Amino acid sequence: MLSEFSLISRYFTRTPSANSGVDLGVGDDCALLAPAPGMQLAISSDMLVEGRHFFPGADARLLGHKSLAVNLSDLAAMGAKPVGFTLALALPALDESWLADYSAGLFALADEHGCQLIGGDTTKGPLTLCITVFGHVPPGLALRRDQAREGDDIWVSGTLGDARLALAGYRRECSLPDAELAAAGLRMHAPTPRIALGLALRGIAHAAIDISDGLIGDLGHILERSGVGATVNVDAVPAGAVLRTQESTMRRNYAMAGGDDYELCFTAPPSARAEINAAAQRAQCEVTLIGTVDAIPGLRLIDRSGKPLLLQVQSFDHFSTP
């Protein structure tokens, strides 16, 4: 039977690559990071709990990807460059094939972003995956939530709502052909953290957030923290490739309030439109203009003809959503 320590050394220990900013990785009481001179450290944690954030029996490789992706997404939303992460794991049992798949998914995404696993903790318990990421950002360039200004454009990256559509499909709240459910399911299980876009928006965007709980709620955080309001054209919000083929009420609701997309929502002055489009092109990521920041508190939704819209939707909240 594998011990805790041989588990760590077999599945979670790698020599940190040279010049990665990691002087000492897994294996001592602490890891040692050598922060790049003059940089601020951006730090964020996200926890995934079985039965709460993912279905029991979920694919381990995809979980490895997603547990890191949701954390990298927070660095992206801050305009930070990934450096390293820690992994705190509670495992119900020692399942080597699960561990091999989980660590393969985890390291594939970590390698893509040059983000080193530098430590963690391992214990027995209900399956829980808690990651803390560390990144660098030059002082003054972090994309904070409290910097949106009246007159700013509101943008989103990629498309929204397919992750929520997949959840509806799995729960049999709607019926989707297998191929479409699989395509939407990939958006839910394997989100793409928009790191390159976050870096490209440094010094251009005023405020940013990643959309984990739904656009309405997450944009609402920017508005509240910045002391402004906004008007959003619901028909301009790009729906996911599968959601796009669904009827308009579902399309609007899931694009506006579906969680788990991990796209970026950001604001920038209209004078920066050309720069934003160039940044998006450099980052190889589509961006779409969806609305305007204004001085009246609250979020107003309109349709393509400018008519006010009332959507019966609510963003996700762990303590108030059933």
Pairing state between β 229-233 and 128-137: unpaired
Residue found by looking up tokens 């609701």 in the block: 253
Cα gap 219→233, rounded to integer Å: 13
Interface with ligand ADP (CB under 6 A):
8, 12, 26-29, 87, 89, 117, 119-122
Start-to-end CA span in the chain (Å)? 40
- Min. distance of Cβ 50 from ligand ADP in angstroms? 16
Cα gap 246→175, rounded to integer Å: 11
- Min. distance of Cβ 262 from ligand ADP in angstroms? 23
**Residue 87 touches which of ligand ADP, Mg ion, none (Cβ within 5-8 Å per kind):** ligand ADP
Would you say 110 or 176 has its CB closer to ligand ADP? 110
Among 34, 15, 35, CA closest to 25: 15
Among 23, 121, 146, 317, the residue binding Mg ion under the rule CB under 5 A is 121
4 in contact with Mg ion (CB under 5 A)? no
Would you say 119 or 238 has its CB closer to ligand ADP? 119
Would you say 106 or 255 has its CB closer to ligand ADP? 106
- Min. distance of Cβ 105 from ligand ADP in angstroms? 14
Would you say 121 or 173 has its CB closer to Mg ion? 121
Cα gap 179→229, rounded to integer Å: 40
Residues 23-33 as b or e (16 or more Cβ within 10 Å = b): eebbeeeebeb
In single-letter form, the type of residue at position 80 comes to A
- Min. distance of Cβ 121 from Mg ion in angstroms? 4
| Backbone angles phi and psi of 33, in degrees to 5 | -105, 145
Would you say 124 or 282 has its CB closer to Mg ion? 124
Cα gap 195→42, rounded to integer Å: 13
Among 120-128, 209-217, 272-280, 294-302, the segment contacting Mg ion (CB under 5 A):
120-128
- Min. distance of Cβ 84 from ligand ADP in angstroms? 11
Give the residues lining the site for Mg ion (CB under 5 A): 121
